[in-house]
Amino acid sequence: MMLPVSLLRLAGQFAVLGVFAALGAMLSNAPAYRQIPDGTGVIKFSFSHQADRSKECRRRTADELAKLPPNMRRPMECPRERREIFAELAIDGSIVFSNGLPPTGFAKDGPSQVYRRFVVPSGQHRVAARMRDTLRSAGFDHERIMDVEVAPGQSLALDFRPEQGGFVWR
User: Residue 32 burial (CB < 10 Å; 0-12/13-18/19+)?
Assistant: exposed
Question: β-strand 155-161 against 40-49: which pairing, if any?
Answer: parallel
Amino acid at 20: F
The mean predicted confidence, pLDDT, of the chain is 89
Q: Is the pLDDT of residue 90 over 80?
A: yes
Q: Rounded to 5 degrees, what are φ and ψ at 12?
A: -65, -40
| Residue 7: per-residue pLDDT | 82
Q: Rounded to 5 degrees, what are φ and ψ at 124?
A: -80, 135
Give exposure, 80-116, as e/b (b: 16+ Cβ within 10 Å): eebbbbbbbbbbeeeeeeeeebebeeeebeeebebee
Architecture of domain 40-54+83-169: Sandwich (2.60)
Q: Taking a C-beta distance cutoff of 8 angstroms, is the pair 109, 103 a contact?
A: yes
Under DSSP, the state recorded for 82 is B
Instruction: Please state the rounded mean pLDDT for residues 144-156.
Output: 94
* Residue 128 CA, distance from chain mean position: 18
> Which of the pair, 36 or 1, is modelled with greater confidence?
36
Instruction: Please state the rounded mean pLDDT for residues 156-162.
Output: 93
pLDDT tens column, 95-113:
999 999 999 989 888 899 9
> Which of the pair, 115 or 5, is modelled with greater confidence?
115
pLDDT tens column, 13-37:
999 999 999 998 888 877 777 788 8
Q: Mean pLDDT: which of 28-42, 74-88, 118-132 is highest?
A: 118-132
Using a cut of 0.95, tell me whether the model's pTM lies above it. Answer: no
| Residue 47: per-residue pLDDT | 93
| Residue 3: per-residue pLDDT | 62
Q: Is the pLDDT of residue 65 over 60?
A: yes
